[in-house]
Structures are given as C-alpha cells and as structure tokens.
Amino acid sequence: MLFTCKPYFMRALLLAALLVVAACQTAPVQEMSDARMAITVAREAGAEEHAATDLKAAVDYLQSAEGFLSERKYDLARRDAVSAKASALDALRRTESNTDPEPQ
C-alpha cells in the first residue's frame, strides 16, 4: 500500500480543514451597506409616515445585524442585514403606493 494513515489522523485533518473554512467567513459589508441605503431611501420617500411598521422592522433588523457584526457572527449579521433591506424595500413600496397621485 502506497498511502496509509491512522483514522485519528484523518479526523484531525478533517477538523483542521473545517476550522480553516469557518475562519474564512467574511463580514457582510455589502449587505450592511445595501440595508442602510434602502432604509435611507425609504425614509426620504416618507416611510416614517406611510409605512412606519415596515420601516421600524428594517431599523430593528439593521440594529440586530450590527450587534451580530460586532460579535463576529457574520452569518447571523448577513441574515439580518438582508431582512433589513427587504423590510426597507417593503416600506418604500408601501410608501410609493400610498403617495402616488390619483389618475386624472
């Protein structure tokens, strides 16, 4: 046999590989930026008046994402940043549908 190794060596090698992959997670910089921008646009469109619930959800998700980001829980931060963006876009849609001028 050309290549033989002990089972514990293979387990250790697999564990080391998994740790390297887990350590390579990156911060969700783009997702956080997208969420902040979507909230800003929704606010500027008047979401605080026309879609306050959706806007509050977006802000809450963003705050949660920032907390996870500071704890280096990047997967959870990414999840909440994506949810913040989705809620902000919902607020924007609702605002735009409430403020569209009536057809003449």
Within a domain: 68: yes
Question: What value does the mean pLDDT take over residues 89-98?
Answer: 95
Within a domain: 9: no
Q: What angle do CA 78, 82, 24 make, to 5 degrees?
A: 20
Within a domain: 12: no
Within a domain: 11: no
Domain count, the chain: 1
pLDDT at 52: 96
What span, in angstroms and rounded, lies between the C-alpha atoms of 78 and 25? 11
Within a domain: 2: no
Instruction: Kindly list the distances between the CA atom of residue 74 and the CA atoms of 5, 23, 80, 94, 95, in Å, as whole numbers in the listed order.
Output: 36, 11, 10, 30, 31
Range of the domain at 35: 27-98
What span, in angstroms and rounded, lies between the C-alpha atoms of 64 and 36? 13
Q: What is the pTM of this model?
A: 0.74
Could you report the per-residue pLDDT of 27-50, keeping only the tens digit for each? 999 999 999 999 999 999 999 999
Report the mean per-residue pLDDT for the chain: 87
First to last CA, the chain: 86
